[in-house]
Amino acid sequence: MRTLRVFGNMLRDSFGYVTYGSRTYHIWMIFLTIVMLLGMYCYSIQLEQGLSATGMTDRVSWGLYISNFTFLVGVAAAAVMLVMPTYILHDIDFKQAVLLGEGLAVAALVMCLAFIIADMGGPWVVWHMIPGIGVFNFPNSMLTWDVIVLNGYLFINFSIPLYILYCHYQGKEAKHEVYVPGSILSVFWAVGIHLVTAFLYEGLQARPFWNNALLGPRFLASAFAAGPALIILVLALIRKFTDFSIADKTIKKIALIVTVAAQINLIMLVSELFKEFYAPTHHSESAFYLYFGMDGKTALLPWIWTAIPLNVFATVMLTFHRFRNNFKVLYFCCFILFIAIWIEKGFGLIVPGFIPGPYGKIAEYTPTWIEIWVTLGIWAMGAFVFTILAKAAIGIELGELRYKKKEVLEPENV
């Protein structure tokens, strides 16, 4: 009972805390709300018209939604890069960052699930997929694996920070033996969610562009570059706008992770390009289409030729200690790396999988405005969720949010 009372108090206090803030904070939240509402309006049009409101067709049947889904799974998985050193290697530096990293994972997962729902032809029969009520084609369908790992990961990443914050809210230290096993599990789980998501594509013999053993490892490498890059940017913003202190050392360590992952990602990219272009086969056509266009169809060229130089440039810059340790350069590099990987792993991965089609037909895909606004709406929702989680977490960590002192001092609680 007491637990529930404290928890209720925590929710109430947090609600009060997140609805109160500076003018910048309010403008930010209003902006996100407007984008979300626009996204919802566009989604309502899509529900009414069907998926013909999007640019997808029978020839290219997955587009912007699934691209973003794939990318965001990677962002979610990257939270592990902070969890591991903090909870398992007891590296104190990361402790402040880790709550935020897990918050980011929760927000990313919420976006992932939203993108899946947005992509579905029949969101009103989603209960067909609930195990026990519907029919869950486990273990045959990789999609059911993905449902399990994503929801499991969401649960882990929600419960660990919740427990820690719940303890801190009462002015207590969180018990190691409670959350460390969960953290260790989440490390394996994070690798799992991204590998399973890669298997979703890798397991399709119909699509040679995806049916490639490097896809899974490359997913991991790019995720561990893009995810922590986003975390660095978020930490930079939090440092600027709140009193929450984040040591330079923390950011530098995360930057090192980004650098190593980006380097590995680049090596894999070279390996992939070599395989596709040194001895091109029929199966290299998708790569040809992606990098050079085919039959005068060149819709993806601007995208991929933006992504590759940005990726290479950012990785090279980050490799030099002098540039990496200069925060202005670091933030810039993280930003362009994030954009580069978003393109490469979203558009650059999903769309060419369908082009050319099973019989060589080249039909291009361009997202419609409806699709773009729904996507922006979901991103705004993710940012909204993260802002709320981060603000409450920071409030508790800074001690601005505390359970009534009197009860904390009661002997049973000490």
404 lies in the binding site for other proteins (CB under 8 A): no
Identity of the residue, 244 or 289, whose beta carbon is nearer to other proteins in the bound complex: 289
Of the candidates 50, 243, 405, 410, which one interacts with other proteins according to CB under 8 A?
50
Question: In the complex, what is the shortest distance from the CB of residue 108 to other proteins, in angstroms, rounded to a whole number?
Answer: 20
Whose Cβ is closer to other proteins: residue 102's or residue 202's? Answer: 202
Binders of other proteins in range 88-127 (CB under 8 A): 116, 119-122, 124-126
Question: Which helix (H) or strand (E) element contains residue 216?
Answer: helix 215-241
Residue 72 beta carbon to other proteins: minimum distance, rounded to whole angstroms: 17
Residue 65 near other proteins by CB under 8 A:
no
Residues 274-313 interacting with other proteins (rule: CB under 8 A): 285
Beta strands in 54-181 (DSSP E): none
Using CB under 8 A as the binding rule, the residues of this chain from 339 to 378 that contact other proteins are 353-354, 356-361
Q: How many residues does the chain have?
A: 414
SS3 294: strand
Beta bridge pairs of residue 297: 294
* C-beta closer to other proteins: residue 8 or 360: 360
Residue located via tokens 């026990």: 132
State the burial class of residue 75 (Cβ atoms within 10 Å of its Cβ: 0-12, 13-18, 19+).
Answer: buried
Nearer CB in complex with other proteins: 44/245: 44
201 versus 342: smaller Cβ distance to other proteins: 201
132 near other proteins, judged by CB under 8 A: yes
Question: In the window 177-236, what residues touch other proteins (CB under 8 A)?
Answer: 200, 203-207
Closest distance of CB 189 from other proteins, Å: 20
Asked if 62 is part of the footprint of other proteins (rule: CB under 8 A), the reply reads: yes
Name which of 39 and 55 has its Cβ closer to other proteins: 55
Structural contact between residues 136 and 130, judged by C-beta atoms closer than 8 angstroms = yes
Contact in structure between 4 and 403 (CB atoms under 8 Å):
no
Number of residues that bind other proteins (CB under 8 A): 46
Cα–Cα dist 126/134, whole Å? 9
Rounded CA-CA distance 153/149 in Å is 6
What type of residue is 346?
G
> Rounded distance, CA 51 to CA 49, Å?
7
Instruction: Rule CB under 8 A: say whether 133 interacts with other proteins.
Output: yes
- Residue 224 · residue 261 · CB < 8 Å: yes
Closer to other proteins by Cβ: residue 103 or 348: 348
Least gap, CB of 120 to other proteins (angstroms): 5
Peptide bond into 356 cis (omega under 30): yes
Rounded Cα distance, 132 and 130, in Å: 6
Give the shortest CB-286-to-other proteins separation in angstroms.
12
56 binds other proteins (CB under 8 A): yes
- Tell whether residue 335 is a contact of other proteins (CB under 8 A): no
- Closest C-alpha to 75, from 197, 256, 247: 197
3 state SS for 174-201:
CCHHHHHHHHHHHHHHHHHHHHHHHHHH
Please report, as ranges, the residues that interact with other proteins according to CB under 8 A: 49-52, 56-58, 61-62, 116, 119-122, 124-126, 128-129, 132-137, 140-144, 147, 200, 203-207, 285, 353-354, 356-361
